[in-house]
Structure 1
Amino acid sequence: MSSVPAPAIASLRGSGLSWTILRPSVFASNALWWAPAIRAGEPVPDPVDGARQGVVDPRDVAAVAVEALTGTGHDAAVHTLTGPAAISVGEQALILGDVLGRDVAVTTAPLPAAAWAAGIAWSRDGHNAVVTDDVRRVLGRAPASFRTWAQDHRDAFRAGGGSPATAF
């Protein structure tokens, strides 16, 4: 999770506008990209090579956004949004396997080309193994775990489960 560049913050501060920045970590819903492979019994790719990340449920991001737009105390705030634990792709696969009642294998994916490579290398180096209490602080409740997200979306990973794009 990269930090907001200092010039961007300076521009916001100097604008005279009210602002809030939400910096979500890796979305739990990114696992939907694996649905076709999981349905086919194939391994899921791990581009970050075992690195842990603060995987966040997009529903928590949406709830924080609503609070930031409608509540008070968020002016000039930067909220870094994560789930309750930093977990690896392998751990996500174990959770999905448990939820689905079968093994979900993982294979290391090569670094992609161009723009994605820098972000993936950054994550591989452990820079995204961040967990914050911002969701709890803003919403007054714990963030959802990847397990909760996986249980709520298990049908997207089962045969005949429909389009993963509709399972957010």
Structure 2
Amino acid sequence: MSRRILVTGASGTVGRQVTAQLLEAGVEVRALTRGPADLPPAVESAHGDLSVLDSLHAAVEGVEAVFLVWPFASAEGLEEMLGVAAKHARHVVYLSSEAVRDHERQAEQLIERSGLAWTILRPHAFAANTLRWAEQIRAEGVVSGPYGEAAMSLVHERDIAAVAVRALTQDGHAGAVHELTGPHSLTQAEQVRVIGEAIGSPVRWAETSPEDARRQMLARGWPPEVVDGILEAQAEMTLGPSPVTTTVEEITARPARTFRSWAAEHAHAFRATT
């Protein structure tokens, strides 16, 4: 009987890559979706919602493992969801983050106590997060923001997915916490320069004050606690290079992809249309 894995967040940045790589490995994939989703034809869709327990029983039936993206800012309801999953699955791979925010820490603790074998992924900042600058770069060739010297070890979503797939399909990852980074620490100013090189047009960083950035984010409707958390984290990142791990290479037997390679793949998103 072939193995079947349930992927939550299958249309997201990482989940889409997990789905594709599982299919490439010959694994049957069931995706939990709340509605129509643009997924490969080989994927079995299971309509449900992580917050609605009754909708999950059919989704987890017959699956061997679960790739879990918990999309809520609270761990409320996760324990019950894990209880449903544990009736069928043996292993859960949870996408946490290097920041291990309060709700992520609570989620990790609940997963460790769930009775399931577990693996926790803690990626550093996603390379894909730089897509938030695309509009500014297309319009002006400039990115305005505070803390241009904030350093990050940006990780490619394919590498996060590659580690997840191995944890889902291979032995040796139960009880492991994998911290994932790219191969280099780059400041935000360096990141925009690399994007400029990828699109063949200079892009520069324009430093603004944290106070201006805070006002702009609040005007967009962001909660004050989220805004303050982001700015505090960026301020801390200016203190020196971001840590770099070799976890991706150790698990996948290939070096982690560089931000330069990610920028080249996504150059079309940053180029001005004519």
TM-score range for the pair, normalised by the shorter chain length = 0.7 to 0.9
- The alignment's TM-score, normalised by the length of structure 2, stands at 0.53
Alpha-carbon distance in structure 2 between the residues aligned to 1:68 and 1:116: 34
1:41 Cα deviation from its structure 2 partner: 1.8
Say which is worse superposed, 119-128 or 102-111, in terms of deviation: 119-128
- Structure 1, residues 118-166: CA drift from partner, whole Å, max 9, x if none? 24312321388121111111111111000000111111111239xxxxx
* SS of structure 2 residue aligned to 1:103: coil
Residues 10-67 of structure 1, C-alpha deviations (whole Å, 9 max, x = no match): 4433322111111111111111111111111242134444111110111111111111
Aligned-pair CA distance for 1:99: 1.6
SS in 1 for 2:116: coil
Letter in 2 for 1:21: I
1:57-114 residue CA offsets vs partner (Å, 9 max, x unmatched): 1111111111111111111111111100111111111111112222111123535342
Matches within 5 A, 1:1-168: 1-3=98-100, 8-109=107-208, 110=210, 111-112=213-214, 113-126=224-237, 129-160=242-273
Q: Please tell me whether the aligned partners of residues 48 and 121 of structure 1 are also in contact (alpha carbons under 8 angstroms).
A: no
Would you identify which runs of 4 or more consecutive aligned residues in structure 1 move more than 2 Å? Answer: 3-15, 45-49, 107-114
What SS does the corresponding residue of 1:78 show, helix, strand or coil?
strand
- Identity score, percent: 38
Instruction: State the alpha-carbon separation in 2 of the partners of residues 102 and 89 from structure 1.
Output: 17
Q: Is the 8 A contact 1:53 1:123 kept in 2?
A: no
Q: Root-mean-square deviation (CA), in Å?
A: 2.3
TM-score of the two chains, using structure 1 as the length reference: 0.83
Counterparts of 1:121 and 1:150 in 2: how far apart (Å)?
26
1:152 and 1:87 mapped to 2: Cα distance?
Answer: 18
Give the number of the structure whose alpha-carbon radius of gyration is greater. Answer: 2
CA distance 1:76–1:117, change in 2 (3 Å): same
Q: For 2:145 and 2:259, how far apart are their aligned partners in 1?
A: 16
Change (3 A) 1:75 1:137: same
Higher RCO structure, 1 or 2 (CA under 8 Å, sep 6+) = 1
Report SS of the residue matched to 2:164. helix
Q: What stretches of structure 1 of length at least 5 have no aligned partner?
A: 162-168
- Counterpart contact for 1:81–1:132, Cα < 8 Å: yes
Aligned length: 161
**Unmatched 5+ stretches in structure 2:** 1-97, 215-223
CA distance in 2, matches of 1:10, 1:48: 33
